[in-house]
Structure 1
C-alpha cells in the first residue's frame, strides 16, 4: 500500500510527536507500505522518511522546486518526484496514494487535509483519511 503522510516540517515541536512518528515509519516499513510525503529534510517529514528508509521501506518524496533549491530536500528519498509548486505537490500526494494519514502539522498540513477531505466529499476519490491523534 502507498501511504501519503501529511505532517510538520517544524523541528521545534514536542519530542513525543517525533517518537510516535518514528514508530509509524517503522511499522510502515515492517508491513511493506510505501511512504509518499512532501520530501523535506525537516521536522516530522524527515523523521518519518528516515524511519521508513532505515526499516528497508520505500520513500517517495514529492518535492517543490523551491524546497529543492533551498537545500531542504530529504536525504532518504528512494524516488524523487519534482514539482513546480505546492498545488502540484498536493495533487500528486493525493493522487498517488491508497490512504492518507495526517500527523501534527501546521497551515500546510491543514490545507492538505481539507483538500483531500473536500475532494472525497465531492466524489473525486474514495480514499480513507486518517487523522492520527497523537
Structure 2
C-alpha cells in the first residue's frame, strides 16, 4: 500500500508505554500492508517500531547517517538500509522515499523531523499526509503554542491544517489512508 515514515524517539530510556505504542504502530503498519520508513536506528521507540513492523510482515527501510552507524545503533535487520553522509541528507531521503508521515511522541530529533516535513509541505514542496499521533495529550502544549502563533501571524492558519491529529494508532492509519485516497 503506502510507505509510511514514522518519526519517534530513539532514546532507550523512554517509559514502557511509549515502547508499547511503537510496537503497536509497527505491527499495525504490517497488518495493513504498509511498509515502514524509519531513521534506521535499532534503539528506543525507533527500533521497537521497526521490530513491530517486521513482526507484522512489513517491509522496513532504514535511513541512517554514517555518524550513527559509527555509534553502532544501525537497524541491521532492516530489509533495506541506506547510509547517508549527514542528518540533512537523511531527512531528504526520508521525505523522498515516503508517501506519508506519522509522528509518535519523541524529543528534539522527532520534532526536527516533524517540522521539516511540515515546513516543506506548507511551502508546497510535497503534498504528503502528515499525522501527529497524540495519545494522552502528549503534544497538546506544542499545538496550543503553535495555534497561539496564528493569532500573531507568525504561523498561517492553513499551516495548522496541514498536520492531522489522531489519538490512537488505528485512527492515525485511518487518517493517513483516507488522505492518500483523496
Q: Give CA deviations for 1:80-120 in whole Å, capped at 9, x if unaligned.
A: 11100000001111111110000111111111111111111
Instruction: Structure 1: state its 5+ residue gaps.
Output: none
The TM-score, its normalising length taken from structure 1, stands at 0.96
- Secondary structure in 1 matching 2:76: coil
Q: Which has the larger radius of gyration?
A: 2
Match of 1:59 in 2: 60
CA contact (8 A) 1:34 1:58 kept: yes
Q: Equivalents in 2 of 1:127, 1:57: separation in Å?
A: 20
Higher relative contact order, structure no. (Cα contacts within 8 Å, ≥ 6 residues apart) = 1
Instruction: Structure 2: state its 5+ residue gaps.
Output: 136-182
Q: Equivalents in 2 of 1:122, 1:111: separation in Å?
A: 16
Q: Which runs of 4+ in 1 moved over 2 A?
A: none
Q: Number of residue pairs matched? A: 134
- Secondary structure in 1 matching 2:18: helix
The TM-score, its normalising length taken from structure 2, stands at 0.71
Please report how far the alpha carbon of residue 70 of structure 1 lies from its aligned counterpart in structure 2 after TM superposition: 1.6
Q: Kindly report the root-mean-square deviation, in angstroms, between the aligned alpha carbons of the 2 structures.
A: 0.9
